[in-house]
Structure 1
Amino acid sequence: MVVLGHSSPARWAAPEGPWTEPDLHLFPQDGHRYEIVDGSLHVTPPLAEEHETVVRALVTALRAAAPEGWWVCTRLGIELGTSKLIPDVTVLRPRSSGASWADPADVALVIEVETDTSRRYDRLLKPDVYAEAGIDGYWRVEPLPEPELHVYELGPDGYQPAQTIRGAGPVKVDAPFPVRISPDAWL
Structure 2
Amino acid sequence: MVMVSPAVSLGVTPPVRWTAPEGDWTEPDLHLFPQDGHRYEIVDGSLHVAPPAPRWHDELVGAVVTTLRSAAPPGWWVCDRLGIGINQGAGGASNLVPDVTVLRPRSSGATWSDPADVALVVEIETAATRRYDEVLKPTLYAEAGIRDYWRVEPGPVLHVYELEAGRFRLRGCVEGAEQIRLDAPYPVRITPAAWR
Long gaps (5+) in structure 1: none
Which residue pairs with 1:64 in the alignment? 70
**Higher mean displacement: 21-30 or 166-175:** 166-175
Which residue pairs with 2:23 in the alignment? 17
Distance 2:130 2:171 in 1: 20
Distance 1:9 1:63 in 2: 39
Kindly indicate whether residue 48 of structure 2 is the aligned counterpart of residue 39 of structure 1: no
For residue 136 of structure 1, the aligned residue among 134, 138, 147 is 147
Which residue pairs with 1:169 in the alignment? 178
TM-score using structure 2 length: 0.89
The Cα shift of 1:168 comes to 1.0
Distance 2:19 2:101 in 1: 31
Q: Provide the identity percentage.
A: 65
The Cα shift of 1:53 comes to 1.2
Paired positions, count: 181
TM-score using structure 1 length: 0.94
Cα deviation code 1:92-131 (max 9, x no counterpart): 0000000010000000000000000000000000000000
- Please give the residue correspondences for 1:1-187 in structure 2 after superposition, counting only pairs within 5 Å: 6=5, 7=7, 9-81=15-87, 82-143=93-154, 146-187=155-196
Q: Which amino acid aligns with 2:137?
A: K
The Cα shift of 1:157 comes to 3.9
Distance 1:169 1:148 in 2: 10
The Cα shift of 1:30 comes to 0.5
Q: Which amino acid aligns with 1:161?
A: L
Distance 1:172 1:165 in 2: 10
Distance 1:90 1:165 in 2: 20
Greater percentage in strand: 1
Distance 1:157 1:91 in 2: 20
Q: Which amino acid aligns with 1:14?
A: A
Distance 2:192 2:18 in 1: 40
The Cα shift of 1:159 comes to 0.2
The Cα shift of 1:11 comes to 2.0
Long gaps (5+) in structure 2: 8-13, 88-92
SS in structure 1 of the partner of residue 65 of structure 2: helix
Cα deviation code 1:34-92 (max 9, x no counterpart): 00000000001111111011111110010000000000000000000100000000000
Structural RMSD (CA) = 1.2
Distance 1:163 1:170 in 2: 12
Which residue pairs with 2:11 in the alignment? none
